[in-house]
């Protein structure tokens, strides 16, 4: 039996994405094979394709951080899952394929009856938002917070989770995306036509309790200016280095740990700035490695919220596997509201 799988043969733009056909993989001991129903497309996939994400695999490799699918075959020694059971996983790469083998310890059961595309949006985007909100920012009812890129996959997740937590959430976005942000309970700030720092202080008086910054670079100082005394910036990305879906510095060579090193410099310098304002990094992959129980616990809790209808992921596009390149082009062009999802098996 053969399958289709997406391949990045060398680092670069969306044009490096190709498709191959091959025999489907066979699960080893302790693994299970998943028939992929939905694979998420996100900014980490773009950064890995460019060769600059800390989790960038060596080429050639198959992109895809997260998946939802059904158990298709059990490897030797796997007894905690059943054939046909719906599961979710975040192997970090390899999900743009029709079949993927995953260690059973990294798999979480998905409640029956959920839409696969909505469920896969929970795996990366909602866990990122949930852990930043509750584990990094220690959110409390009545607090005020700001997220940049509020119309994106993580942003729309954060707005929904903040509303459940009783947190008043502001969100930077384009003018076109403002209605979507408002519908999710957020207060939109048009970053193209207004100064978000001035707007935050106009709307709140003293600033917000936390800012979630996936932009990075000098925008971190602007985010810091939007804080009240005692507030914190949670930083989790470096979109400021992107231009049209490409790294602005891609001609200088690819260094996967350069951005992490720069972030460390910002955090160090923050200690010497006036005011009681902290800056903390968030990395879903490192938290998953060091606190795997948290990952499984948080994912199960979020899938339960999805089952109850308390959260509703926004799916920007559902595309066949063959349109992986188009998905990356759309993400790079900007303006995507919600999550782009690939459907490898139709």
Answer with the residue of higher pLDDT: 18 or 56.
18
Answer with the residue of higher pLDDT: 3 or 273.
3
Q: What is the mean pLDDT of residues 10-39?
A: 97
pLDDT in tens, 61-74: 999 999 999 999 99
**Percentage of the chain lying above the pLDDT 70 cut:** 93
257 has pLDDT over 70: no
pLDDT in tens, 71-96: 999 999 999 999 999 999 999 999 99
pLDDT at 346: 85
How many whole angstroms separate alpha carbon 340 and alpha carbon 158? 17
Closest CA to 42 of 98, 131, 155, 124: 124
Q: What is the mean pLDDT of residues 17-36?
A: 97
pLDDT at 260: 62
Alpha-helix residue ranges (DSSP H) falling in 109-195: 116-121, 127-131, 153-165, 178-183
Is residue 210 a contact partner of residue 146, using CB atoms and an 8 Å limit? yes
Please, what are the domains in the chain? 2-120+287-343 (3.90.180.10), 122-283 (3.40.50.720)
Name the band, by pLDDT with cuts 50, 70 and 90, for residue 254: low
- DSSP letters of 12-32? SSGGGEEEEEEEPP---TTEE
pLDDT in tens, 85-128: 999 999 999 999 999 999 999 999 999 999 999 999 999 999 99
């Amino acid at each position: 039996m053969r399958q289709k799988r997406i391949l990045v043969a060398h680092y670069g733009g969306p044009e490096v994405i190709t498709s191959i056909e091959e025999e489907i993989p066979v699960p080893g001991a302790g693994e299970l094979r998943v028939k992929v129903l939905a694979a998420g497309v996100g900014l980490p996939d773009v950064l890995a394709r460019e060769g600059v994400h800390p989790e960038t695999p060596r080429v050639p490799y198959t992109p895809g951080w997260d998946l939802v699918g059904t158990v298709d075959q059990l490897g030797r020694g796997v007894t905690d899952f059943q054939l046909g059971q719906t599961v979710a996983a975040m192997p970090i790469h390899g999900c743009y394929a029709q079949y993927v083998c995953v260690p059973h310890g990294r798999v979480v059961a998905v409640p029956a009856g959920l839409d696969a595309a909505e469920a896969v949006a929970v795996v990366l985007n909602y866990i990122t938002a949930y852990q930043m909100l509750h584990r990094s920012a220690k959110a409390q009812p009545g607090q005020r917070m700001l997220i940049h890129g509020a119309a994106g996959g993580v942003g729309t997740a954060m707005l929904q989770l903040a509303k459940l937590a009783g947190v008043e959430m502001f969100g930077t976005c384009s003018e076109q995306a403002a209605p979507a942000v408002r519908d999710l309970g957020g207060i939109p700030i048009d970053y193209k036509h207004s100064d978000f720092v001035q707007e935050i202080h106009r709307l709140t008086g003293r600033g917000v309790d936390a800012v979630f910054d996936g932009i990075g670079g000098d925008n971190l100082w602007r985010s810091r200016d939007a804080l009240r005394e005692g507030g914190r910036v949670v930083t989790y990305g470096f979109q400021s280095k992107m231009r049209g879906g490409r790294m602005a510095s891609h001609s200088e060579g690819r260094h996967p740990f350069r951005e992490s090193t720069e972030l460390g410099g910002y955090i160090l310098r923050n200690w010497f700035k006036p005011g009681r304002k902290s800056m903390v990094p968030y990395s879903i992959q490192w938290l998953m490695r060091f606190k795997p129980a948290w990952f499984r616990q948080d994912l199960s809790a979020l899938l339960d919220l999805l089952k109850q209808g308390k959260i509703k992921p926004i799916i920007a596009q559902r595309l066949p596997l063959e349109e992986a390149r188009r998905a990356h082009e759309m993400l790079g062009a900007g303006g995507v509201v919600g999550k782009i999802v690939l459907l490898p098996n139709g």
